[in-house]
């Protein structure tokens, strides 16, 4: 018996947290939001808030909105959310640092997420991730988790991450680029995919809409789709998805027949005394 390939990160001994928190007491009054958060973004934030019975529910989508502007959650972005929702920047920071999709540093044009959870890893995910780390690294140093190859934001730049289970286990090993699925990958196909991305190409995902970039996708997550009806199309049914259904058809199996008419609903329960 051999251990599967790949080198799971010894991730236990990390020194965590910022070295020093720097604050500017003089800067705690009045709006300081970055000019990046323009009137369009403000209007969008207001639209998000209007979707919910209570405004604070808008925070997660608003952090996606912030990422669509700056390709990460910056301090200005935290400040922007804090002002729009009238909560403290500490409260926004608490939320922004809890979720893995909010990135602390500016990301590449694309985010490549390789599933390295057990099943994908056993099926080749660890090997894919290790190969991409080496490939995208420089000066002999493999690219680390959430690090970016190329100048962040520029065409062809890629932020690489290892991801937890991406819920496509029947299609393992899987990769997502900007949260679009690239199923049944191999080390070779993953390399080709990344090469194409580096060249500025946008390979079509196995399932999902045509590839755009991370910022566009973050705007979609915030609820602003360029053309919802169009982006909602695209391939989504892999052979694996319909394996059971196809097999049932082949063998003539069906669920038990339903009554021709909808059956009468049960009577109302007797009122309690």
State how far the Cα of 263 lies from the Cα of 188, in Å rounded to an integer.
55
Which segment (34-42, 129-137, 196-204, 238-246) binds another protein by CB under 8 A?
Answer: 238-246
Helix spans in the chain (H): 39-50, 59-70, 75-85, 89-96, 118-120, 126-136, 187-198, 214-221, 228-231, 243-251
Is 121 one of the binding residues for another protein (CB under 8 A)?
Answer: yes
Verify binding: residue 204, another protein, rule CB under 8 A.
no
Kindly indicate which of the ranges 38-46, 50-58, 185-193, 194-202 contains the residues binding another protein, using the contact rule CB under 8 A: 50-58
Considering the complex, what minimum distance in angstroms separates the CB of residue 144 from another protein?
15
- Cβ count within 10 A of residue 19: 6
- What is the distance between the alpha carbons of residues 109 and 71, in angstroms, rounded to a whole number? 8
Which one of 42, 56, 202, 215 is in contact with another protein (CB under 8 A)? 56
Residue 14, SS3?
coil
Nearer to another protein, 14 or 138 (CB): 14
Binding-site member from 43, 134, 199, 247 for another protein (CB under 8 A): 247
Q: Is 268 in the site for another protein (CB under 8 A)?
A: yes
CB 108 within 8 A of CB 159: yes
Q: Which two tokens stand for residue 39?
A: 């009137």
**DSSP strand pairing (158-163 vs 110-115):** parallel
Give bridge partners of residue 222 from the DSSP assignment.
Answer: none
Residue with smaller CB distance to another protein, 30 or 138: 30
Per rule CB under 8 A, is residue 122 in the interface with another protein? yes
Question: Can residue 138 be called a binding residue for another protein (CB under 8 A)?
Answer: no
Least distance CB 83 / another protein (angstroms): 12
Rule CB under 8 A: say whether 5 interacts with another protein: no
Token pair of 88 as six digits: 């403290």
Q: Find the binding residues for another protein in span 19-48 (CB under 8 A).
A: 19-32
Task: State which of residues 151, 188, 199, 239 lies at the interface with another protein (CB under 8 A).
Answer: 239
Return d(Cα 105, Cα 71) in angstroms, integer: 8
Residues 174/181, Cβ–Cβ less than 8 Å? yes
Considering the complex, state which of residue 10 and residue 195 has its C-beta at the smaller distance from another protein.
10
In the list 35, 138, 140, 258, the residue contacting another protein (rule: CB under 8 A) is 258
Longest dimension (CA), the chain: 79
The candidate with the shortest Cα–Cα distance to 106, out of 41, 151, 164, 59, is 151
User: Cβ closer to another protein: 107 or 123?
Assistant: 123
Q: Which is nearer to another protein, 53 or 140 (CB)?
A: 53
Q: Hey, which residues between 59 and 88 contact another protein (CB under 8 A)?
A: 59-61, 63-64, 75, 78-79, 85, 87-88
Q: Contacts with another protein in 141-200 (CB under 8 A)? A: 163-172, 176, 178-181
> In the bound complex, what is the minimum distance in angstroms from residue 178's beta carbon to another protein?
8
Instruction: Name which of 37, 33, 30 is nearest 222 in CA terms.
Output: 37
| Cα Rg of the chain, angstroms | 23
Taking CB under 8 A as the criterion, the residue among 43, 100, 105, 154 binding another protein is 100
């Amino acid at each position: 018996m051999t251990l599967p390939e790949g080198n799971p990160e010894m991730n236990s001994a990390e020194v965590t947290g910022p070295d020093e928190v720097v604050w500017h007491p003089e800067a705690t009054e009045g709006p300081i939001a970055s000019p990046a958060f323009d009137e369009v973004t403000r209007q969008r934030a207001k639209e998000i808030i209007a979707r919910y019975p209570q405004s604070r529910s808008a925070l997660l989508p608003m952090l996606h909105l912030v990422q669509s502007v700056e390709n990460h959650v910056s301090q200005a972005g935290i400040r922007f959310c804090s002002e729009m929702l009238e909560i403290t920047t500490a409260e926004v920071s608490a939320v922004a640092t809890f979720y893995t999709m909010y990135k602390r540093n500016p990301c590449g044009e694309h985010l490549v997420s390789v599933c390295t959870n057990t099943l994908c890893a056993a099926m080749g995910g660890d090997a894919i991730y290790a190969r991409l780390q080496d490939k995208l690294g420089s000066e002999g140093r493999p690219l680390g988790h959430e690090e970016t190859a190329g100048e962040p934001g520029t065409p062809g730049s890629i932020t690489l991450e290892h991801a937890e289970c991406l819920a496509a286990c029947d299609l393992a090993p899987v990769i997502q680029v900007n949260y679009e699925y690239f199923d049944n990958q191999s080390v070779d196909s993953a390399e080709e995919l990344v090469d194409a991305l580096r060249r500025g190409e946008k390979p079509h995902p196995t399932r999902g809409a045509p590839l755009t970039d991370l910022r566009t996708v973050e705007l979609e997550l915030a609820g602003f789709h360029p053309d919802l009806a169009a982006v909602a199309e695209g391939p989504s049914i892999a052979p694996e998805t319909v394996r059971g259904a196809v097999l049932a058809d082949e063998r003539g199996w069906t669920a038990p027949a339903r009554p021709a008419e909808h059956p009468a609903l049960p009577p109302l329960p007797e009122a309690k005394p």
